[in-house]
Structure 1
Amino acid sequence: MPDTTATWRTVEDDVVRGRQRLIFVRERDHYVLTTLCVYADGVVVWQWKSTDFDGIRAAFDDGTLTLAPPEGAKIIVAGTATGPVSLESWLTPELVICDLADEVDRLNDRPDSSGRCRNALIAYAAEPTQSNLEIVRERYHAVPEHRRIYMLGDMDHNDVPVRILLAEPGETIPARRPEHTLTVTPETRERALEYFRQSERGIAESRERNALDGPETAIATPVHMGGRVYPNGWPEPPGLEVLQVDYPAPVVHDGQEYPTVMHAYWALSTDDAAWRDRIAGVERGLDARVLAEEAPRRDDWSAFRLGVMAALLRDKFNRHPAMAQQLRETGDARLLYSDWGSRYWSSDGANWLGRLMELVRSELAAR
Structure 2
Amino acid sequence: MGWRGPTYRTVDGERIGGTWCHVWRRHRGSDEYFVEDLVVFADGAVGCGELTDLAGLERMLAAGRIAVTDPATPPREEPAGRWASRSGGPLTPESFLAEVADRIEELAGRPTAVQRCREAVGRFRKTPTEANRGRLREAYLAIPAHLRIFCLGDMDRQDRPLRILLTDIGEPVDGDGPVVTAEMHQDALDYFKHEDEAVEGERAAQAVRHADDPTAPGRPAVVLHETYFPNGRPADPGLSALRNDFPAPVRWAGDIYPSVLHGYWALSVAEEADRVTVRDAPTPREAHELGSRAARRDDWTAVRLGVMAGLLRAKFTQHPELAEILLGTGDATIAYTGYSESPYWRDTRDRGGRNWTGRLLELVRAELLAGRVSWPTGE
Normalization by structure 1: what TM-score? 0.52
CA offsets 1:240-293 (integer angstroms, 9 cap, x no match): 221111111111222011100000001112112122111111111122112223
Q: Which runs of 5+ in 1 are unaligned?
A: 8-18, 25-35, 39-52, 76-86, 103-111, 119-139, 141-147, 159-171, 181-201
Larger Cα Rg: Structure 1 or Structure 2?
2
Between the two proteins, the alignment pairs up a number of residues equal to: 246
Whole-angstrom CA distance in 2 between matches of 1:334 and 1:310: 17
Alpha-carbon distance, 1:176 to partner = 4.7
Change (3 A) 1:151 1:235: farther
1:304-345 per-position Cα deviation (integer Å, ceiling 9, x unaligned): 211111111011111111111111111111111113122221
Which structure has the highest strand share of the two? 1
Aligned to 1:322: 321
Counterpart residue number, 1:175: 138
Q: Cα gap change, 1:265/1:66 in structure 2, threshold over 3 Å: closer, same or farther?
A: farther
User: Following the alignment from structure 1 to structure 2, what is the Cα–Cα distance between the partners of residues 270 and 98?
Assistant: 53
Which whole-Å CA distance do the structure 2 matches of 1:94 and 1:302 have between them?
47
Q: Which residue, 88, 91, 104 being the options, matches 1:89?
A: 91
Contact 2:262–2:287 at 8 Å: present in 1 too? yes
SS in 2 for 1:339: coil
Native 8 Å contact 1:335 1:357 kept in 2:
yes
Contact 1:269 1:298 in 2 (8 A): yes
Residue aligning to 1:345: 345
Asked if 2 retains the 8 angstrom alpha-carbon contact of 1:218 and 1:333, the reply is no
Whole-Å separation in 1 of the counterparts to 2:116 and 2:99: 21
Task: Tell me which of 118, 124, 133 is aligned to 1:154.
Answer: 118
SS of alignment partner, residue 156 of structure 1: helix
Number of the residue aligned with 1:304: 303
**Superposition map of 1:1-367 within 5 A:** 68-70=69-71, 89-90=91-92, 113-114=105-106, 116-118=108-110, 148-152=112-116, 154=118, 156=120, 175-176=138-139, 212-215=211-214, 219-341=218-340, 342-348=342-348, 349-367=353-371
Distance 1:269 1:91, change over 3 A: farther
Q: Which amino acid aligns with 1:266?
A: W
Q: Is the 8 A contact 1:67 1:93 kept in 2?
A: no
CA contact 2:266–2:274 (8 Å) conserved in 1: yes
- Asked which structure has the greater RCO (Cα within 8 Å, sep 6+), the reply is 1
1:210-264 Cα distance to aligned partner (Å, 9 max, x none):
7852516752121121411112221112222211111111112220111000000
Query: In the superposition, relative to structure 1, how do residues 89 and 353 fare at CA in structure 2: closer, same or farther (>3 Å)?
Result: same
Percentage identity across paired residues of the two chains: 33
| Root-mean-square deviation over aligned CA pairs | 5.0
Quick one: which amino acid aligns to residue 343 of structure 1?
Answer: P
Give the distance between the partners of 1:229 and 1:339, measured in 2 at CA: 11
Q: Secondary structure, in 3 states, of the residue corresponding to 1:257?
A: strand
Matched-pair contact (CA < 8 Å) for 1:243–1:323: yes
Kept in 1, the 8 Å contact 2:336–2:355? The answer is: yes
Structure 2 segments unaligned to the other structure (5+ residues): 6-18, 25-36, 40-46, 52-60, 77-88, 123-134, 142-164, 167-199, 372-379
